[in-house]
Structure 1
Amino acid sequence: MSSLAKVPCTIVTGFLGAGKTTLVRHVLENAQGRRLAVIVNEFGDVGIDGEILKNCGVENCPEDAIVELANGCLCCTVADDFVPALKNLLDRPSPPEHIVIETSGLALPKPLVKAFNWPEIASRVTVDGVVTVVDGAAVAAGRFADDPEAIARQRASDESLDHDNPLEEVFEDQLLCADLVILNKADLLSADQRSTVTGEIGKTLPRAVKVVEAQNGQVPVAVLLGLGAEAESDLSNRPSHHDLEGEHDHDDFDTFIVDLPAFESPQVLIDRLRKAAMAHDILRLKGFVDIAGKPMRLLVQGVGARIQHQFDRRWSSDEVRRGRLVVIGEKGLDQTAIQTLVAG
C-alpha cells in the first residue's frame, strides 16, 4: 500500500514543559475542517493534558477522538497501549484524516516511530513527521547545553562524574529524531539568545532540519502537518543514545500527586509553587486548582520556577471541586517537604 493511501500521523515530542499540549491545541483549533484525532500520553496517573485538549470544543475532533494513555511512557508500552489505541481510531466509522500523537516529556521518540512498522498497522498509517518542541528559555539558561568535551575531561579526573546525564540524553534523542524543531517561547529570548540557542540545537541535529521560532505554540498548521517524512522508513538517519538497548526505564525520575485544598486567590498558590520549585529543583508542575468563590477551574502549569495559570473552564455542577497537582523531578524529591510547602 502506498504512503498516499495511509493515514498520516504527526508525533509531537519535546522535553517537560516545552509547550507540546499548547501546540497540539493550536492544531486542533486551526484544523480548517480536517478530521483529526489525538493520542496523548501522560507520565503519571492524572490526565492533565488530556483534559486541556478535550476542552477545546473543536467539532472535527470530538472528545471521543482524543485518546489518553496514562499507563506509562508510550515508547515502553507500544504493544499494550499504543498499537491498540491507534487501531481503534482507524476502525472508527469515520476514521481520522490525520492523527496527532503527543508523547510524554520523558519519551524517546524513535521506539514510537519504529512501532509504525508493526504488521498490525504498517499498511494503514505513516509518520508524516516528528515535531520536536524546545523550551527556548530553558536551553538559553543552559539546562541542556552541556559541553561534551568539558564533561569528558571532568569525568576523566573525577570518578564521581562517570555517569550518564539522563535529562541530556532524553533531550538530545528528541532532537535527533526530529523532522521539524519548534523553538517555543522565543518571545522570552533576545535576538542574540535566539541565535545562540538555534546554533546549539543545530550542533545536535544529525541532518538538515528546519528550526521555527514560536510563541505559545503558534505555528501555522500548514507548517506542522504534511511534512511527508515517512519517518518509519528513515530510521537509520535518526540516531539515538539508546539504539543498542532493548528498552529503557524512567528510574531517574520521580512523579507524584499533591492533593490541594481550595485557595483564596491564585497568587497565594503561585507563591507557594515558586518557593517549592526553587527549594527542590522541581522540573515540572501541572494540575487543576479550586479557587474559593470562583465558578471556573484554575489550570496551573510550571517549568521550574516559571509558573503559568489561567481559568480554563467552569466547574461542572456534578463534579467535586478537587485540586490535584502532578509534580515531576529527578530521583530523590522530598515529597513530604513539597507537600507541606504547596498544600500547607
Structure 2
Amino acid sequence: MEKPSKIPATVITGFLGAGKTSAIRHLLQNAKGRRIALVINEFGDLGVDGEILKGCGIEDCGEEDVVELANGCICCTVADDFLPTIQALLDRADPPDHIVIETSGLALPKPLVKAFAWPEVRTRTTVDGVITMIDGPAVADGLFAGDPEAVAAQREADENLDHETPLEELFEEQLACADMVVINKADMLDDAQLQAVEATVARHLRPAVKSLRTSHGAVDIAVLLGLDAAAEDDLDSRHSHHDAAGEHDHDDFTSFSIALGEAEAPEALLARLLPVIAEHGILRVKGFAAVTGKAMRLVVQGVGDRLQHYYDRDWQPGEERSTRLVIIGETGLDEAAIRAALAS
C-alpha cells in the first residue's frame, strides 16, 4: 500500500519590509486552483500582514486559510504555537495542497525548518523550500546593518574581532538557510546597483543556491513552489551563528503599536512620520490609517525613510475608524519621544 504523500510547506523569510506579504499575495492571486494555507507570524502586537491578506479580496483566500501567530517569533515558540498550528492544518478534513509560512522579519529560519523534523509532523509534511526575500534598495543602502561604515572600519583595523551587528547577523542567517533568494524592488535599482546587491548576497549562499530579481514580489508560483528541497533533512549545510548556542532571543529589537486619530490625507501622515523615522532610526513602520473623507482603509508600509501607502478595502460596519501603526527598531528606541512626536 502506497504511503500518503507529504504536504509540502514553503517558508518565506526575509528582513523587515523585503516584500514577503507582496509575494504571498501574488502566489494567492495566481494559485491556479492549488489550495494554499497561510501561517503568518508577526513581531509586535498588531497583526498587520494577516489583516492585509485577509482583506485582499482574493476568491480562494478564505479567513480559515490564514493562521496568525502574534506576539513572538516562530523560531522561539515552535513547540508552543507553531507545531500545534501545523498539526491542526494537517488534521483538517480538507487539508491544504501546500502550506506557506511567512516568518517575521526578525526570525531565524533554521529553528523553524528543524521543527519539521519533529516526530509529530515529520511523516506528514516536508519543507519544500526556504525562500529568502531581499529588499534590494535596503541592501544597497546598507540597512541590514546598524552602521555599515563603522563595522567595515573596525573589521579593517582588527580582522580577528567579530563586530557584526544584530542586523547583519539576521541577514546572514536568512541567506544561509535559503534554497532560493528573491531580490525584490529591482525596479528601484540600476544594473550596477543590482550587480552589487547580488554580489553581497552571493557571499552568504550555499553552493548551487540561485537568486532572481523581481519587483512587487511578483514571482511565478511554479518558480517558488515545488523546489522539493526536503530542507529538514539538510540542516547541517545551513550554517547558523546560533548552532552552538541553541537559544535565540530578540532583546536586540523592540516594537510597540501606537493609535492615532484620522489623517487629513496620506501625504500629511507620511510628512508626520518621516522626520520621526529619521531622528530615531526607526527600522520599520507598518499599519493602517483612517483618512478623513475616505471610505477605504489606508495601508502604510515603510522601511527606513521609504514609505508606501495604498487603500486596500472599505471600513466595515461597526469597525472603528482609527490609525494604528507598529513601530519596530533596535533596543533603546525612545518610545515615549516617538509617541509624543507622532501625537503632536
The alignment's TM-score, normalised by the length of structure 1, stands at: 0.95
* 8 Å CA contact retained: 2:155, 2:163: no
Figure out how many residues of one structure are paired with residues of the other and give that number.
341
Q: What aligned pairs does 1:124-135 form with structure 2 within 5 A after superposition?
A: 124-135=124-135
Q: Which amino acid aligns with 1:298?
A: L
| 1:184 alignment counterpart | 184
* 8 Å CA contact retained: 1:9, 1:101: yes
* 8 Å CA contact retained: 2:187, 2:215: yes
Q: Which amino acid aligns with 1:267?
A: E
| 1:280 alignment counterpart | 280
| 2:42 alignment counterpart | 42
- Shift in Å, 1:200: 1.0
| 2:197 alignment counterpart | 197
* 8 Å CA contact retained: 1:28, 1:56: no
User: Which secondary structure does the structure 2 equivalent of 1:181 belong to?
Assistant: strand
Q: Which runs of 5+ in 1 are unaligned?
A: none
User: For the residues of structure 1 that align with 2:3 and 2:105, how far apart are their CA atoms?
Assistant: 29
User: For the residues of structure 2 that align with 1:164 and 1:199, how far apart are their CA atoms?
Assistant: 19
Q: Does 1:218 align with 2:218?
A: yes
* 8 Å CA contact retained: 2:154, 2:163: no
Q: Which runs of 5+ in 2 are unaligned?
A: none
User: Which secondary structure does the structure 1 equivalent of 2:121 belong to?
Assistant: coil
Gap change, CA 1:185 and 1:3, over 3 Å in 2: farther
Once the two structures are superposed, residues 306-344 of structure 1 have per-residue CA deviations (whole angstroms, 9 ceiling, x without a partner) of 000011110001111121100000111111221122222
Gap change, CA 1:112 and 1:198, over 3 Å in 2: same
User: Which secondary structure does the structure 1 equivalent of 2:341 belong to?
Assistant: helix
Q: What aligned pairs does 1:131-150 form with structure 2 within 5 A after superposition?
A: 131-144=131-144, 146=148, 150=153
| 1:152 alignment counterpart | 155
Gap change, CA 1:3 and 1:230, over 3 Å in 2: farther
User: For the residues of structure 2 that align with 1:156 and 1:224, how far apart are their CA atoms?
Assistant: 38
* 8 Å CA contact retained: 2:144, 2:171: yes
- Shift in Å, 1:212: 0.7
- Shift in Å, 1:204: 1.2
| 1:10 alignment counterpart | 10
User: Which secondary structure does the structure 2 equivalent of 1:338 belong to?
Assistant: helix
Q: Which amino acid aligns with 1:138?
A: A
Gap change, CA 1:281 and 1:98, over 3 Å in 2: same
Gap change, CA 1:265 and 1:248, over 3 Å in 2: same
User: For the residues of structure 2 that align with 1:111 and 1:134, how far apart are their CA atoms?
Assistant: 20
Q: What aligned pairs does 1:1-344 form with structure 2 within 5 A after superposition?
A: 5-144=5-144, 146=148, 150-154=153-157, 164-344=164-344
User: For the residues of structure 1 that align with 2:104 and 2:272, how far apart are their CA atoms?
Assistant: 25
User: For the residues of structure 2 that align with 1:290 and 1:131, how far apart are their CA atoms?
Assistant: 33
User: For the residues of structure 2 that align with 1:53 and 1:267, how far apart are their CA atoms?
Assistant: 24
User: Which secondary structure does the structure 2 equivalent of 1:121 belong to?
Assistant: helix
- Shift in Å, 1:132: 0.1
Q: Which amino acid aligns with 1:329?
A: G
User: For the residues of structure 2 that align with 1:155 and 1:41, how far apart are their CA atoms?
Assistant: 38
User: For the residues of structure 2 that align with 1:277 and 1:319, how far apart are their CA atoms?
Assistant: 29
* 8 Å CA contact retained: 1:257, 1:325: yes
- Shift in Å, 1:275: 1.1
Q: Which amino acid aligns with 1:114?
A: K
| Identity level (%) | 57
- Shift in Å, 1:206: 2.5
User: Which secondary structure does the structure 2 equivalent of 1:198 belong to?
Assistant: helix
The alignment's TM-score, normalised by the length of structure 2, stands at: 0.95
User: Which secondary structure does the structure 1 equivalent of 2:120 belong to?
Assistant: coil
Q: Which amino acid aligns with 2:228?
A: G
Q: Which amino acid aligns with 2:174?
A: Q
* 8 Å CA contact retained: 2:56, 2:312: no
- Shift in Å, 1:237: 1.0
Alignment RMSD, CA only?
Answer: 1.9
